[in-house]
Amino acid sequence: MGLEPRTLELFYDVLSPYSWLAFEVLCRYKNIWNVNLQLQPTLIGGIMRDSGNQPPAMLPRKAVYMRSDVRLLSQHLQVPIHFPKDFFSVILKKGSLTAMRFLTVVKMEHPRMLEKVSRELWMRIWSRAAEKAGMSMGQAQELLERVSTPQVKNKLKETTDTACKYGAFGLPITVTHLDDETHMLFGSDRMELLAYLLGEKWMGPVPPAVNARL
Protein backbone atom coordinates (compact mmCIF):
# COMPACT_ATOMS: atom_id res chain seq x y z
CA MET A 1 0.00 0.00 0.00
CA GLY A 2 1.20 3.50 -0.77
CA LEU A 3 1.56 6.32 1.67
CA GLU A 4 -1.51 8.30 2.63
CA PRO A 5 -1.85 11.57 0.67
CA ARG A 6 -0.53 14.65 2.42
CA THR A 7 -3.04 17.47 2.93
CA LEU A 8 -2.53 20.80 1.16
CA GLU A 9 -4.88 23.72 1.75
CA LEU A 10 -5.02 26.58 -0.75
CA PHE A 11 -6.61 29.73 0.66
CA TYR A 12 -7.56 32.03 -2.21
CA ASP A 13 -9.70 34.93 -3.41
CA VAL A 14 -10.76 35.41 -7.03
CA LEU A 15 -9.66 39.06 -6.92
CA SER A 16 -6.07 37.91 -6.50
CA PRO A 17 -4.34 37.04 -9.79
CA TYR A 18 -1.53 35.42 -7.81
CA SER A 19 -4.15 33.15 -6.25
CA TRP A 20 -5.15 32.04 -9.74
CA LEU A 21 -1.54 31.26 -10.64
CA ALA A 22 -1.06 29.15 -7.51
CA PHE A 23 -4.45 27.49 -8.05
CA GLU A 24 -3.64 26.33 -11.58
CA VAL A 25 -0.17 25.02 -10.71
CA LEU A 26 -1.46 23.07 -7.72
CA CYS A 27 -4.35 21.66 -9.76
CA ARG A 28 -1.79 20.42 -12.30
CA TYR A 29 0.28 18.72 -9.61
CA LYS A 30 -2.44 17.32 -7.35
CA ASN A 31 -2.52 14.02 -9.28
CA ILE A 32 1.26 13.92 -9.74
CA TRP A 33 2.23 14.54 -6.13
CA ASN A 34 0.74 12.42 -3.39
CA VAL A 35 -1.45 15.21 -2.01
CA ASN A 36 -5.06 15.90 -1.10
CA LEU A 37 -5.66 19.46 -2.31
CA GLN A 38 -8.32 21.27 -0.29
CA LEU A 39 -9.57 24.52 -1.82
CA GLN A 40 -10.48 27.17 0.76
CA PRO A 41 -12.38 30.23 -0.56
CA THR A 42 -11.21 33.13 1.60
CA LEU A 43 -11.95 36.86 1.83
CA ILE A 44 -8.79 38.81 1.08
CA GLY A 45 -10.32 42.00 2.47
CA GLY A 46 -10.70 40.35 5.87
CA ILE A 47 -7.07 39.23 5.83
CA MET A 48 -5.88 42.71 4.87
CA ARG A 49 -7.82 44.26 7.76
CA ASP A 50 -6.66 41.66 10.27
CA SER A 51 -2.98 41.92 9.28
CA GLY A 52 -2.84 45.68 8.68
CA ASN A 53 -1.66 45.08 5.10
CA GLN A 54 -2.75 47.00 2.00
CA PRO A 55 -3.61 45.82 -1.52
CA PRO A 56 -0.88 46.52 -4.12
CA ALA A 57 -3.27 48.89 -5.89
CA MET A 58 -3.06 51.25 -2.92
CA LEU A 59 0.64 51.81 -3.63
CA PRO A 60 1.31 53.22 -7.13
CA ARG A 61 4.73 51.62 -7.61
CA LYS A 62 3.45 48.22 -6.52
CA ALA A 63 0.46 48.59 -8.83
CA VAL A 64 2.71 49.26 -11.83
CA TYR A 65 5.02 46.40 -10.90
CA MET A 66 2.11 44.03 -10.34
CA ARG A 67 0.77 44.52 -13.85
CA SER A 68 4.15 43.71 -15.39
CA ASP A 69 4.83 40.85 -12.97
CA VAL A 70 1.48 39.14 -13.50
CA ARG A 71 1.74 39.52 -17.28
CA LEU A 72 5.12 37.76 -17.32
CA LEU A 73 4.03 35.09 -14.85
CA SER A 74 0.86 34.38 -16.83
CA GLN A 75 3.01 33.68 -19.90
CA HIS A 76 5.48 31.54 -17.96
CA LEU A 77 2.82 29.55 -16.09
CA GLN A 78 0.46 29.42 -19.10
CA VAL A 79 -2.51 30.93 -17.27
CA PRO A 80 -4.59 33.32 -19.45
CA ILE A 81 -4.71 36.37 -17.19
CA HIS A 82 -5.82 39.57 -18.91
CA PHE A 83 -6.14 42.71 -16.79
CA PRO A 84 -9.43 44.53 -17.36
CA LYS A 85 -9.20 48.29 -17.58
CA ASP A 86 -11.15 48.69 -14.34
CA PHE A 87 -9.21 46.00 -12.44
CA PHE A 88 -7.95 48.18 -9.62
CA SER A 89 -11.22 50.06 -9.22
CA VAL A 90 -12.93 46.68 -8.90
CA ILE A 91 -10.50 45.68 -6.16
CA LEU A 92 -10.87 48.93 -4.27
CA LYS A 93 -14.61 49.54 -4.69
CA LYS A 94 -16.53 46.39 -5.58
CA GLY A 95 -14.51 43.86 -3.65
CA SER A 96 -15.08 40.12 -3.71
CA LEU A 97 -17.50 39.49 -0.85
CA THR A 98 -20.38 38.20 -2.98
CA ALA A 99 -18.08 36.11 -5.19
CA MET A 100 -16.39 34.46 -2.24
CA ARG A 101 -19.70 33.82 -0.50
CA PHE A 102 -20.89 32.21 -3.73
CA LEU A 103 -17.83 29.94 -3.82
CA THR A 104 -18.36 29.16 -0.14
CA VAL A 105 -21.89 27.93 -0.75
CA VAL A 106 -20.70 26.00 -3.83
CA LYS A 107 -18.20 24.24 -1.58
CA MET A 108 -20.90 23.53 1.00
CA GLU A 109 -23.45 22.19 -1.46
CA HIS A 110 -21.49 21.02 -4.53
CA PRO A 111 -17.85 20.57 -3.42
CA ARG A 112 -16.86 18.64 -6.55
CA MET A 113 -17.72 21.68 -8.66
CA LEU A 114 -15.65 24.15 -6.65
CA GLU A 115 -12.55 23.89 -8.83
CA LYS A 116 -14.43 24.49 -12.06
CA VAL A 117 -16.58 27.34 -10.74
CA SER A 118 -13.54 29.05 -9.20
CA ARG A 119 -11.71 28.84 -12.52
CA GLU A 120 -14.65 30.29 -14.43
CA LEU A 121 -14.88 33.21 -12.01
CA TRP A 122 -11.22 33.92 -12.59
CA MET A 123 -11.96 33.85 -16.31
CA ARG A 124 -14.22 36.83 -15.59
CA ILE A 125 -17.40 35.26 -16.86
CA TRP A 126 -19.32 36.05 -13.71
CA SER A 127 -22.84 35.77 -15.17
CA ARG A 128 -22.01 32.47 -16.87
CA ALA A 129 -19.51 31.02 -14.39
CA ALA A 130 -21.77 28.40 -12.82
CA GLU A 131 -23.31 27.38 -16.16
CA LYS A 132 -19.92 27.02 -17.85
CA ALA A 133 -18.76 24.80 -15.01
CA GLY A 134 -21.63 22.39 -15.64
CA MET A 135 -24.09 23.70 -13.06
CA SER A 136 -27.70 24.22 -14.10
CA MET A 137 -29.11 27.73 -13.96
CA GLY A 138 -31.60 26.50 -11.38
CA GLN A 139 -28.80 25.27 -9.15
CA ALA A 140 -26.86 28.50 -9.63
CA GLN A 141 -29.87 30.64 -8.75
CA GLU A 142 -30.53 28.56 -5.64
CA LEU A 143 -26.95 29.06 -4.49
CA LEU A 144 -26.98 32.78 -5.28
CA GLU A 145 -30.06 33.12 -3.07
CA ARG A 146 -28.07 31.62 -0.21
CA VAL A 147 -25.00 33.87 -0.33
CA SER A 148 -26.40 36.20 2.35
CA THR A 149 -27.55 33.48 4.75
CA PRO A 150 -25.90 33.31 8.19
CA GLN A 151 -24.52 29.83 7.44
CA VAL A 152 -22.61 31.01 4.36
CA LYS A 153 -21.46 34.26 5.99
CA ASN A 154 -20.19 32.35 9.02
CA LYS A 155 -18.42 29.71 6.91
CA LEU A 156 -16.53 32.32 4.87
CA LYS A 157 -15.60 34.20 8.05
CA GLU A 158 -14.46 30.95 9.65
CA THR A 159 -12.21 30.12 6.68
CA THR A 160 -10.78 33.65 6.62
CA ASP A 161 -10.13 33.51 10.38
CA THR A 162 -8.35 30.18 9.90
CA ALA A 163 -6.07 31.72 7.26
CA CYS A 164 -5.31 34.60 9.66
CA LYS A 165 -4.43 32.12 12.41
CA TYR A 166 -1.96 30.48 10.06
CA GLY A 167 -0.31 33.91 9.74
CA ALA A 168 -1.72 35.08 6.40
CA PHE A 169 -1.11 38.71 5.44
CA GLY A 170 -2.33 38.33 1.85
CA LEU A 171 -3.36 35.63 -0.61
CA PRO A 172 -2.72 33.03 -1.80
CA ILE A 173 -1.32 30.94 1.01
CA THR A 174 -0.66 27.23 0.79
CA VAL A 175 -0.68 25.31 4.05
CA THR A 176 0.99 21.90 4.29
CA HIS A 177 0.29 19.42 7.05
CA LEU A 178 3.26 17.07 7.40
CA ASP A 179 3.32 14.72 10.38
CA ASP A 180 3.25 17.07 13.37
CA GLU A 181 4.37 20.15 11.44
CA THR A 182 2.38 22.78 9.60
CA HIS A 183 4.01 25.12 7.08
CA MET A 184 2.41 28.26 5.64
CA LEU A 185 3.82 29.42 2.28
CA PHE A 186 2.79 32.77 0.83
CA GLY A 187 2.48 33.57 -2.86
CA SER A 188 2.41 31.68 -6.14
CA ASP A 189 6.19 31.39 -6.42
CA ARG A 190 6.87 28.91 -3.61
CA MET A 191 6.10 25.72 -5.53
CA GLU A 192 9.70 24.52 -5.65
CA LEU A 193 9.95 24.95 -1.88
CA LEU A 194 6.62 23.18 -1.50
CA ALA A 195 7.93 20.24 -3.52
CA TYR A 196 10.98 20.13 -1.24
CA LEU A 197 8.79 20.01 1.87
CA LEU A 198 6.68 17.22 0.36
CA GLY A 199 9.72 15.26 -0.83
CA GLU A 200 8.35 15.48 -4.37
CA LYS A 201 9.93 16.45 -7.67
CA TRP A 202 9.32 19.92 -9.11
CA MET A 203 9.04 19.71 -12.90
CA GLY A 204 8.28 23.34 -13.66
CA PRO A 205 4.93 25.17 -13.73
CA VAL A 206 3.57 22.92 -16.48
CA PRO A 207 4.66 19.32 -15.77
CA PRO A 208 5.17 17.01 -18.79
CA ALA A 209 1.94 15.04 -18.22
CA VAL A 210 -0.09 18.26 -18.32
CA ASN A 211 1.95 19.89 -21.10
CA ALA A 212 1.16 16.93 -23.37
CA ARG A 213 -2.55 17.76 -23.06
CA LEU A 214 -2.18 21.50 -23.72
HEC sequence for the chain: CCCCCEEEEEEECCCCHHHHHHHHHHHHHCCCCCEEEEEEECCHHHHHHHHCCCCHHHCHHHHHHHHHHHHHHHHHHCCCCCCCCCHHHHHHHHCCHHHHHHHHHHHHHCHHHHHHHHHHHHCCCHHHHHHHCCCCHHHHHHHHCCCCCHHHHHHHHHHHHHHHHCCCCCCCEEEEEECCEEEEEECCCCHHHHHHHHCCCCCCCCCHHHHCCC
Cβ-contact 41, 156 below 8 angstroms: yes
Please identify every residue annotated as catalytic.
16
